[in-house]
Amino acid sequence: DIQLTQSPSFLSASVGDRVTITCRASQGITSYLAWYQQKPGQAPKLLIYSASTLQSGVPSRFSGSGSGTEFTLTISSLQPEDFATYYCQQLNFYPLTFGGGTKVEIK
Amino acid sequence: QVRLQESGPGLVKPSETLSLTCTVSGVSISSSYWSWIRQPPGKGLEWIGYIYYSGSTDYNPSLKSRVTISADTSKNHFSLKLTSVTAADTAVYFCARRNDLFDYWGQGTLVTVSS
């Protein structure tokens, strides 16, 4: 199985901060990576797919980059509604796997 | 508007079978692949498996011996059965659209395995 390692697992930030989350794959997955946002008690929400393509309706402050084994999710200016847990997911190989999550909390 | 809604018992006894249904509205299940994903309390996400309306399926090898996913096009729903459950199967179970990335999700349903 492809292992996805997210870092950090937790980060504390302020409104307006630029935030970057990293996802590393145990082997190359080209650009077959998605990012999700999950708030407490809710289902995950798809933010980005194909490593860098913004899902319809997602604010442009979210962006993704990377290919192969290293990927990043960046929030250019953190908003109050962005405090949540973020997961990466690889879709290059079955079984599909998710990263362990990064919880973004208010500083 | 695509909507998914999970339903089924919230409590299952150890060694018994967990059974859930995902009812889809706003689109025919014949139009896509459909998946089940679970999340133990306070933990991360685990893909369980998917089905295409024709009956084609694939499962996570970690669960393959215990999982069956089926679909009923007449009711526009698909279902999950997980046999021989243990406390480790306690989780929120989500249904979702597609078999690669997941663009629509149900709200999730908590299933607790306990006697």
The alpha-carbon gap from B99 to the nearest alpha carbon of chain A, in Å, equals 9
**Spatial distance between the Cα atoms of A25 and A77, rounded to a whole number of angstroms:** 26
**pLDDT (average), residues A33-59:** 98
The alpha-carbon gap from A85 to the nearest alpha carbon of chain B, in Å, equals 10
pLDDT of A15 strictly over 90: yes
Integer CA distances (angstroms), A1 to A90, B47, B61, in order: 10, 12, 10
pLDDT of B26 strictly over 90: yes
pLDDT of residue B53: 86
**pLDDT (average), residues B27-40:** 97
The alpha-carbon gap from A24 to the nearest alpha carbon of chain B, in Å, equals 16
B47 vs A95: CB contact, 8 Å cut-off?
Answer: yes
**Spatial distance between the Cα atoms of A73 and A51, rounded to a whole number of angstroms:** 9
Banded model confidence at residue B79, pLDDT cuts 50, 70, 90: very high
**Percentage of chain B surpassing pLDDT 70?**
100
Interface residue A5 vs chain B (CB under 8 A): no
pLDDT of B62 strictly over 90: yes
Residue with tokens 């998917």: B50
Residue B105 DSSP class: B
Residue from the list A32, A42, A46 with its beta carbon closest to the beta carbon of B102: A46
pLDDT of residue A107: 87
pLDDT of B66 strictly over 90: yes
The pLDDT tens digits of the residues spanning A49-68 come to 999 999 999 999 999 999 99
**pLDDT (average), residues B57-83:** 97
Three-state SS at A93: coil
Integer CA distances (angstroms), A70 to A29, A47, A91, A106, B36, in order: 9, 18, 14, 26, 27
Cβ contacts (< 8 Å) between A43 and chain B: which residues?
A: 94, 96, 105-108
Cβ contacts (< 8 Å) between A45 and chain B: which residues?
A: 105
